[in-house]
Homo-oligomer: A and B are copies of this chain.
Amino acid sequence: MNIKEVADRAGLPAKTIRYYEEIGLIRPLRGANGYRAFRESDLHKLAFLARARGLGFTIEECRRLLALYEDRGRASADVKALAEAHLDDMERKIAELRAMQATLRDLVAGCAGDQRPDCPILAGLAEGTAAGRGGTKPCH
């Protein structure tokens, strides 16, 4: 299989597949012409990666998941721990987003949204009376 076919079948851009090879997530063979020659097993791994990425796992988490997937002697506890840590990450992100949303919604609620310049949103950002609460760090 050439890269376009695996890309279509795995649902990943060819660029992404080349990148995954570069960082060692997959190791496709090479044909005499220099083209990558993907086996069924490569396709499986790529589909696996596409789904794991789709669930928000980072590349490094995907790498560990893939290693566990290929390790017949794995303990499911290890997989579960990884998944639960990721669930916690998502929970934290959601909480952070909700906190930001709540603050901003309060500001928006007080804004007339007309032609006049008076704006509690800008006032809130300028004075900090309502913005940035809840231990929300600048970002990162």
Contacts and interface: CB of A to CB of B under 8 A. Distances in A.
Interface of A: 11-12, 16, 44, 47-48, 50-56, 65, 68-69, 71-77, 79-81, 83-84, 86-87, 90-91, 93-94, 97-98, 100-101, 103-105, 107-108, 111-119, 121-122, 124-126, 128, 131-132, 136-139
A77 B114 contact: yes
Contact of A113 (B16, B80, B124): B80
Contacts of A68: 119, 122
Nearest to A56: B100
A107 B83 contact: yes
B73 A86 contact: no
A61 to B, nearest CB: 11
